[in-house]
Amino acid sequence: MKVPLSWLREYVDLPAVTAHEVADKLTAAGLKLESISSHGHDVKNVVVGEVLDIEELTGFKKPIRHCQVETGEATPREIVCGATNFVVGDRVPVVLPGGVLPGGFEVGARKTYGRMSEGMICSERELGLSEDHGGIMVLPPDTPIGADVVELLGLRDDVIELEITPDIGYALSIRGVAREAATAFGVAFRDPADVELPHESGPSWPASIADPTACDRFVLREVAGFDPAAQSPLWMRTRLTRAGMRPVSLAVDITNYLMLELGQPLHAFDRDKLTGEIVVRRAAAGERLETLDHVVRELDPDDILITDQTGPISMAGTMGGLETEISGGSTAIVIEAAHFSATGISRESRRHGLVSEASKRFERGVDRELPLVASWRAVQLLAELGGASIRPGVTHAEVEVSPARIAIPSGHPGAVAGVPYAKETVVARLEQVGCVVVDGDDPAVRQGGVDPTGVVTGGALAAKLAVAGDDMITVTPPTWRPDLTDPSDLAEEVIRLEGYENLPSVLPAAPAGAGLTEGQRLRRRVGRALAEGGYVEVLSYPFISGDDFDRLLLPAEDARRRAMRLANPLSEDEPLMRTTLLPGLLKTLVRNVGRGFADVALFETGPVYRPRDNAPEVAPVLGVERRPTADELASIEAALPDQPLRVAVVLAGEFERSGWWGGGRQASWADAVQAARLVAAESRLELSIIADQHEPWHPGRCAALYVGDTLVGHAGELHPRVIEAYGLPPRTSAMELELSRLESAMPGPVETPAVSAYPVAIQDVALIVPDFTPVADVEAALRDGAGELLESIRLFDVYAGEQVGEGNKSLAYSMRFRAADRTLTVEETTAARDAAVAMAADRVGAQLRSA
């Protein structure tokens, strides 16, 4: 909302303050400042001149005129001008030599087109009044010659632009902002809606409301004899332009002007194009309407329409129809003002992708009492500025709506703020907002019921707040504040007007607790371990596309293809909740490589979403008027997917960087497997690594990760077709592991192991096994055979060649033995080693390799 300061001052007796000081006060009151722009402060030496003589110059490609202009000086000024819309005797704005126009444009005396030009005759755009550059601005004939144009036209002004949130729709008007400014400065406020309406009898054009849920007040007034050639006055066009709206024609400008001033959208119909009674209703199936933007729209049965006997003539509160548009020959006009359903207009506007200045106001809530006032002021201006005559009568279709009443303890705002407010302060602040406050407690209001007069009451929270001895007050919010519906809303009004800056800053006491859960500690440990291992954490959106399943080569029966579909996705390209972390990580890796970072190692921790079997497709939507029952909560829980926590890594390029110190090392499947080992180590678990074939990994370079008999993830190099589909670097590797399963398998509290003071005995052993034998199986056999004396085992060499025979490989292990109570003898360690070799021979057919 753009608010010219000069317009604001019409209704508020502001002191001598700058626009920045006004903006600071409004910001403190809760209105968010977007920007402040200044107009005309740099303009100088612009005066009113009268054209005495015009000489048409020939021989040029465009019309050129040499003018003699009287400016109140000793002699007339010679000025060369290219515009042709003025004649001798017209009074025009003239910039004298040394003058400055908006934007710092300086004007001097110079010779042009063979004649001297001592200044410049200005258009409205050159003066910063509008975008009109069709010709010179012609002033009224009684304008004093030599008068200062800056003062005469009010060129100097400041415009405060505010961002209006959905809860303060009243501030989308000069009226609403002026009321806030008056409260902020403690000065008088003159309500532009405080006008005396005529005592009229009889209707204007016939109208009715067919659907009370769509509209509860509909007002029509008429004028006749309107002059379609009448122009909007300069002051109106200037204000519209500075408030961000383009002047169109007098009838349209009047409706826009009053919408900006009062906050009540209006619409003007050409009376000669209306047929029969106007009815406000919902759309019927198959109806269509061509709106003012020349788009034919298919209407939805939930759309709110204004119709006559021919059918729809306007999308209520959003945009008018083309058939009843005010045209250049319209002389009879019907002005419409109404109060439409805020939710209905909001849905209609979004359904058609049609957001207008009117719909922005209606969806935030418009003052229900304004239609009579706004329509009367509109016909008055049409009569005053357009020569129209006001036809007697007014059509006023209305659905009875009772005002809300809210009962609260007077100490409730202080309890919310943590600062005690006197009852007198609470009452005064609420009355400044426009509320009617009365002492006492109406039991019906407190209980959230209906009082004996049938007034709708809102007090469910009040009933909870009220206790014996409370000093209760009953509040009726003003019609322009439909957002005030419960005690917390009223408390917020008191607090913001008292000043947020006056609230003390007090840190809340930390509640006693058990600290982080084991799962939270595990997640933090895993993140630190991977970061220390060279990975960078990323956070991706949990949304994926159905095409991702194809790019990952997932089989048709793969459980990861069964995904939850969002009812209202951020992007139609990614409407599914992820069932794996890999798509988001792979896209992030591609984005980094595309920006010149070729060596990338990323990790992400987060949930995946796996639909449960036999779960309902849509979760039930419950009301908020009461706490859900146990069965209702169970029905919601049943519709929710399983959300296990996972960790995944992707890496490409060099994992160990090259440099002056030497060559680096390319990332490989082994690094992905090692990342899984890092994660498992933080869980105090040991992984079993087994060769596997599992999409999207390379069938020959994929490892299944087990804890005992439980599969917890996979790691390895991605399939070449997956790499090609995503545009990844060659040999990209990845790992995905389910943290939730690791957490459930974690051992109990860590016990400090006994540290032996006796020396370690080391035995090396090399075994020949078939080359398809998993290393994990060989190691497991050695551990089981060595017994309790084995402290650790490490694979330090793998060899395949002529010395071990075709189809075989040699695995060399270093085995460390130690006893807790004695120094081991050579015989004991040799026996343990031999038992380990025998176990490996029995399980996997291993043979001891000779020297």
Q: Pinpoint the alpha helices (H) of 473-533.
A: 487-498, 518-532
67 vs 53: CA distance, rounded Å: 6
What residue type is 467 in one-letter code?
V
pLDDT in tens, 583-623: 999 999 999 999 999 899 999 999 999 998 888 877 888 88
What mean pLDDT is predicted for residues 244-260?
93
Q: What is the pLDDT of residue 750?
A: 75
Q: Which helix (H) or strand (E) holds 337?
A: strand 333-340
The percent of residues in the chain predicted with pLDDT above 90, rounded, is 70
Q: Parallel, antiparallel, or unpaired: how do β-strands 654-656 and 645-652 relate?
A: unpaired
Is 237's pLDDT higher than 70?
yes
Output the pLDDT for position 185: 93
Q: What is the mean pLDDT of residues 493-509?
A: 88
Pairing relationship of beta strands 600-607 and 536-537 according to DSSP bridges: parallel
Predicted local distance difference test score (pLDDT) of residue 774: 85
pLDDT surpassing 50 at residue 455: no
Separation between Cα atoms, residue 33 and residue 808, nearest integer Å: 76
Q: What secondary structure, in 3-state letters, does 246-310 show?
A: CCCCHHHHHHHHHHHHHCCCEEEEEHHHCCCCEEEEECCCCCEEEECCCCEEECCCCCEEEEECC
Q: pLDDT band for position 369 (50/70/90)?
A: very high
What does the alpha-carbon distance between residue 689 and residue 245 come to, in Å, rounded to a whole number? 69
Amino acid at site 708 = G
Q: Give me 15's structure tokens.
A: 């002191």
What is the pLDDT, as a whole number, of residue 465? 53
* Residue appearing with tokens 């990760």: 705
Mean pLDDT computed over 575-582:
96
Task: For residue 775, name the pLDDT band (cuts at 50, 70, 90).
Answer: confident
In this prediction, residues 649-662 reach a mean pLDDT of: 91
Q: What is the pLDDT of residues 740-751, one digit of tens each?
A: 999 999 988 777
- Residues with Cβ within 8 Å of 338's Cβ and at least 6 positions away in sequence, in order, are 215, 217, 218, 219, 280, 316, 317, 371
Distance (Å, whole) CA 234 – CA 790: 97
Taking Cα atoms as reference points, which of 29, 5, 3, 2 lies closest to residue 18? 5
| DSSP conformation letters of 75-120 | SPEEEEE---S--TT-EEEEEEEEEEETTTEE--EEEETTEEEESE
Which pLDDT score is estimated for 445?
47
Determine the pLDDT at residue 450: 40
> Per-residue pLDDT for 457 more than 50?
no
**Helices H, strands E: what count in the chain?**
23, 41
Q: Which residue has the tokens 């107009």?
A: 39
- Provide the pLDDT confidence category of residue 671 given band limits of 50, 70 and 90: very high
Specify the pLDDT at position 456: 38
pLDDT band at 447 (very low <50, low <70, confident <90, very high): very low
Q: What is the pLDDT of residue 644?
A: 95
Q: What is the dihedral of CA 299, 305, 308, 309, to 10 degrees?
A: 40
Residue 453 has pLDDT above 50, yes or no: no
Q: What is the phi-psi region of residue 72: left when phi exceeds 0, alpha when psi lies from -120 to 50, beta otherwise? A: left
- List, for residues 128-161, the tens digit of each pLDDT value: 887 777 789 999 888 999 999 988 888 889 999 9
Buried/exposed code over 225-240 (b: 16+ C-beta within 10 A; e: otherwise): ebeeeeebebebbbbb
Which DSSP category does 565 fall into?
B
Q: Output phi, psi for 112, to 5 deg.
A: -145, 145
Classified as helix, coil or strand, 649 is strand
Residue with tokens 């209703």: 281
Q: Which is higher by pLDDT, 446 or 58?
A: 58
Classified as helix, coil or strand, 660 is coil
pLDDT band of residue 847 (cuts 50, 70, 90) is very high
| Higher-pLDDT residue of 663, 741 | 741
Q: What is the pLDDT of residues 678-698, one digit of tens each?
A: 999 999 998 988 889 999 999
State mean pLDDT over 403-424: 91
Distance between start and end Cα atoms, the chain: 89
Question: Are the beta carbons of 197 and 189 closer than 8 angstroms?
Answer: no
Closest CA to 200 of 393, 395, 397, 396: 393
4 CB neighbour count, 10 Å cutoff: 24
Q: Are strands 120-121 and 91-101 parallel, antiparallel or unpaired?
A: antiparallel
34, 68, 73 from 50: Cα distances, Å:
42, 9, 12
d(CA 361, CA 276) in angstroms, rounded, equals 29
Contact 439, 430 (CB under 8 A): no
Average pLDDT estimate for 546-573: 92
Instruction: Using alpha carbons, select from 409, 423, 421 the residue that is nearest to residue 459.
Output: 409
441 has a pLDDT exceeding 80: no
Alpha carbon distance 39, 124 (integer Å)? 13
Whole-number average pLDDT of the chain: 90
| Model pLDDT for residues 282-324, shown as the tens digit of each residue | 999 999 999 999 999 999 999 999 999 999 999 999 999 999 9
Q: Note the pLDDT tens digit of each residue in 26-65.
A: 999 889 999 999 888 889 999 999 999 999 998 888 899 9
Please, which pLDDT band fits residue 167 given cuts at 50, 70 and 90? confident
Residue 106: Cβ within 10 Å count: 12
pLDDT confidence of residue 511: 78
User: pLDDT tens, 86-98?
Assistant: 999 999 999 999 9
